[in-house]
């Protein structure tokens, strides 16, 4: 007699070819397996997650379950308070002899999966997580958790292994591994910015929107939800990006705009992180756009570096450095998160705009996250764990595996340089150069001290003065610290007083 088995698919594992499903079907056949999916209400309410993120996850799960049913699978989609209750109910109802799973992306999820066999008295098999390329290929296998690894080193390993943008001799296309010198330009005025494709919610999604609006006291709003919720729509979103925005992706990837949210970014991270899209397929699509002459090399390479370089590097570092990474606080920052990050009530025009955007849409592109939000949090000494929770709550693409290394490591340098190579801090000069927020701001981006001085200015210099001894140990900070010599004693005292007054007001 053939055993009956179940395959537990997590809500962020909505891949078109789920490894655990493939192995289970090969072992016992489609007729003898059942798919388990659990909507754990307690898990979804662990933090005040953005309402649009909750709609996205639950709608994508429902659409995925419907597709599996169309393909002939039996699907048990359970509403439960938590995963424990959901698995228990499934086992009682269907009595599977074995439970197949794909490894969770989060540390706690992995710990729970490995406890299932003993907790429920059932045989289990956990497959590697195929949503990340560094699980298909182990880059830099000799590196230990204490070893410092630059993202560029990791990125080159990934490119070489997967054969992306290499010439016939295995060298980088164009003779260089990256083209930053051509990228990260301010966006010129008058440049046409294409609209991003949107998707009208179907009846299934509308029902979920109603539930989230009425039953979940979360961040943001449900109104205006227009994201892709299945594989077909996610592919359409990818094709829209490659056709209309990849052409300027690298060139203007660090530009900021008061008018435009997405600019030339892909806005594909929510779908990648759910498993609806695969990183390697996107890298190949970008490469093909370059081969066909549709985009310049710097733009294709810039996108590929984000997908198989930065994104994979974040997951790789998360796997190496957890659980300690989540609790790091290198600067000893203890200031509570300012209230205006929940209501956007601030006179700083750049922060007011991006906070309103994230509360409305759950999305900002990477440079606004890094050089506005994280920059401000670092300069003001906000507790990194509070910052992490805020990011987890507010972004539709936020999952622990990406937010811990990105916020604690890269954004705040709260890990002391295990993930990034320097603190990403800047004065208002950078913000003015890369965007147009300063034009309508009541603060003056040129002034360092005085009533009209932009807080980013005096906070930047205050941070350098406060941490000068530690920062001098980092060679990449030498140029910034060199400029301290231009501040005389009177200016230093003024910077300190202005900063203290501002910080007290928070």
User: Hey, which CATH number is domain 5-130, 2.40.160.60, 3.30.420.10, 3.40.50.620, 3.40.50.300?
Assistant: 3.40.50.620
Predicted confidence (pLDDT) per residue in 255-314, tens digit:
999 999 999 999 999 999 999 999 999 999 999 999 999 999 999 999 999 999 999 999
Question: Mean pLDDT in the chain?
Answer: 95
Confidence band of 216 (pLDDT split at 50, 70, 90): confident
Locus of tokens 């729509």 = 233
What is the C-alpha to C-alpha distance for residues 466 and 461, in angstroms, rounded to an integer?
9
Half-sphere exposure of 50 (CA within 13 A, CB side): 29
Question: Is the predicted pLDDT of residue 462 greater than 80, yes or no?
Answer: yes
Question: Is the predicted pLDDT of residue 54 greater than 70, yes or no?
Answer: yes
Q: Please, are residues 260 and 292 in contact by the beta-carbon 8 Å criterion?
A: no
What is the C-alpha to C-alpha distance for residues 112 and 320, in angstroms, rounded to an integer?
18
Q: Please, are residues 379 and 462 in contact by the beta-carbon 8 Å criterion?
A: yes
What is the C-alpha to C-alpha distance for residues 129 and 358, in angstroms, rounded to an integer?
29
Q: Is 339 helix (H, G, I), strand (E, B) or coil?
A: helix
What is the C-alpha to C-alpha distance for residues 97 and 481, in angstroms, rounded to an integer?
64
Confidence band of 146 (pLDDT split at 50, 70, 90): confident
Question: Is the predicted pLDDT of residue 2 greater than 70, yes or no?
Answer: no
Our CA dihedral for 165, 167, 169, 171, rounded to 10 degrees, sits at -50
Alpha-carbon dihedral sign for residues 376, 382, 384, 390: negative
Mean pLDDT of 423-441: 96
Reported CATH class of domain 339-505: mainly alpha
User: Residue 197 contacts by C-beta under 8 Å, 6 or more apart in sequence?
Assistant: 236, 237, 240
Give the pLDDT of residue 215: 85
What is the C-alpha to C-alpha distance for residues 185 and 251, in angstroms, rounded to an integer?
6
Nearest to 9 by CA among 92, 70, 93, 74: 74
What is the C-alpha to C-alpha distance for residues 248 and 489, in angstroms, rounded to an integer?
45
- pTM, rounded to two decimals: 0.96
Give the pLDDT of residue 404: 98
Count CB neighbours of 130 within 10 A.
19
Which one has a higher pLDDT value, 12 or 217? 12
What is the C-alpha to C-alpha distance for residues 12 and 137, in angstroms, rounded to an integer?
21
Give the pLDDT of residue 142: 86
Nearest to 252 by CA among 242, 243, 262: 262
Topology at the third CATH level for domain 135-196+245-321: 1.25.40
Question: Is the predicted pLDDT of residue 3 greater than 80, yes or no?
Answer: no
- Ranges assigned E (strand) in 103-220: 123-127
Note the maximum CA span of the chain. 86
- The strand pair at 123-127 and 74-80 is best described as unpaired
Domain ranges (residues) in the chain: 5-130, 135-196+245-321, 339-505
What is the C-alpha to C-alpha distance for residues 60 and 11, in angstroms, rounded to an integer?
8
Strand-pair partners of 185: none
What is the C-alpha to C-alpha distance for residues 87 and 80, in angstroms, rounded to an integer?
9
User: Residue 287 contacts by C-beta under 8 Å, 6 or more apart in sequence?
Assistant: 164, 165, 300, 304
Mean pLDDT of 39-66: 95
Give the pLDDT of residue 490: 94
What is the C-alpha to C-alpha distance for residues 196 and 239, in angstroms, rounded to an integer?
11
Give the pLDDT of residue 368: 97
Predicted confidence (pLDDT) per residue in 95-132, tens digit:
999 999 999 999 999 999 999 999 999 999 999 999 99
Predicted confidence (pLDDT) per residue in 338-350, tens digit:
999 999 999 999 9
Which one has a higher pLDDT value, 141 or 444? 444
Of the chain, the percentage scoring pLDDT greater than 90 comes to 93
Give the pLDDT of residue 419: 95
Question: Is the predicted pLDDT of residue 234 greater than 70, yes or no?
Answer: yes
Task: Tell me, letter by letter, the H, E, C secondary structure of 377-436.
Answer: HHHHCECHHHHHHHHHHHCCCCCHHHHHHHHHHHHCCCCCCCCCCCCCCCCHHHHHHHCC
Question: What is the phi/psi pair of residue 33, to 5°?
Answer: -125, 155
Question: Is the predicted pLDDT of residue 455 greater than 80, yes or no?
Answer: yes
Predicted confidence (pLDDT) per residue in 170-179, tens digit:
999 999 999 9
Question: Is the predicted pLDDT of residue 180 greater than 90, yes or no?
Answer: no
Give the pLDDT of residue 1: 45
Give the pLDDT of residue 181: 85
Q: Please, are residues 311 and 268 in contact by the beta-carbon 8 Å criterion?
A: no
Give the pLDDT of residue 198: 98
């Amino acid at each position: 007699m053939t055993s009956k088995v179940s395959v537990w698919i997590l809500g962020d594992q909505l891949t078109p070819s789920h490894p655990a499903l493939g192995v289970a079907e090969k072992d016992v056949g489609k007729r003898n397996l059942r798919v388990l999916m659990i909507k754990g209400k307690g898990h979804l309410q662990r933090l005040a997650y953005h309402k649009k993120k909750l709609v996205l996850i639950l709608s994508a799960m429902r659409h995925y379950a419907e597709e599996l049913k169309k393909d002939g699978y039996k699907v048990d989609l359970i509403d439960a308070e938590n995963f424990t209750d959901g698995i228990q109910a499934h086992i009682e109802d269907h009595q599977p002899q074995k439970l197949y799973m794909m490894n969770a992306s989060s540390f706690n999820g992995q710990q729970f999966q490995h406890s299932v066999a003993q907790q429920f008295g059932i045989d289990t098999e956990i497959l590697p997580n195929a949503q990340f390329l560094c699980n298909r290929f182990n880059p830099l296998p000799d590196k230990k958790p204490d070893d410092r690894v630059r993202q560029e080193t990791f990125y080159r390993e990934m490119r070489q292994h997967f054969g992306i943008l290499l010439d016939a001799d295995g060298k980088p296309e164009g003779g260089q591994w990256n083209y930053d010198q051509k990228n990260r330009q301010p966006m010129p005025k008058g440049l046409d910015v294409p609209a991003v494709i949107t998707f009208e919610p179907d009846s299934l999604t509308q029902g979920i929107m109603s539930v989230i609006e009425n039953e979940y006291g979360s961040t943001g709003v449900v109104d205006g939800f227009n994201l892709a919720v299945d594989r077909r729509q996610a592919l359409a979103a990818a094709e829209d990006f490659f056709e209309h925005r990849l052409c300027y992706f690298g060139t203007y990837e660090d530009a900021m705009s008061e008018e435009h949210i997405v600019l030339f970014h892909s806005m594909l991270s929510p779908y990648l992180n759910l498993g609806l899209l695969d990183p390697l397929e996107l890298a190949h699509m970008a490469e093909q756009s370059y081969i066909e002459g549709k985009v310049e090399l710097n733009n294709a390479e810039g996108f590929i570096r984000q997908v198989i370089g930065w994104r994979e590097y974040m997951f790789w570092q998360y796997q190496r450095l957890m659980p300690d990474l989540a609790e790091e606080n290198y600067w000893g920052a203890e200031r509570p998160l300012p209230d205006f990050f929940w209501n956007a009530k601030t006179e700083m025009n750049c922060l007011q705009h991006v906070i309103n955007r994230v509360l409305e849409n759950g999305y900002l592109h990477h440079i606004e996250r890094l050089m506005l939000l994280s920059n401000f949090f670092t300069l003001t000494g906000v507790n990194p764990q509070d910052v992490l929770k805020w990011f987890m709550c507010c972004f539709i693409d936020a999952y622990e595996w990406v937010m811990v290394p990105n916020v604690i490591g890269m954004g705040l340098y709260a890990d002391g340089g295990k993930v990034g190579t320097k603190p990403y801090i800047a004065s208002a000069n950078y913000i003015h150069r890369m965007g147009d927020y300063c034009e309508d701001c009541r603060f003056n981006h040129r002034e360092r001290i005085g009533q009209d001085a932009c807080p980013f200015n005096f906070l930047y210099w205050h941070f350098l003065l406060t941490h000068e001894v530690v920062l001098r140990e980092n060679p990449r900070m030498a140029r910034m610290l060199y400029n301290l010599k231009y501040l005389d004693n009177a200016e230093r005292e003024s910077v300190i007083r202005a900063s203290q007054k501002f910080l007290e007001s928070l």
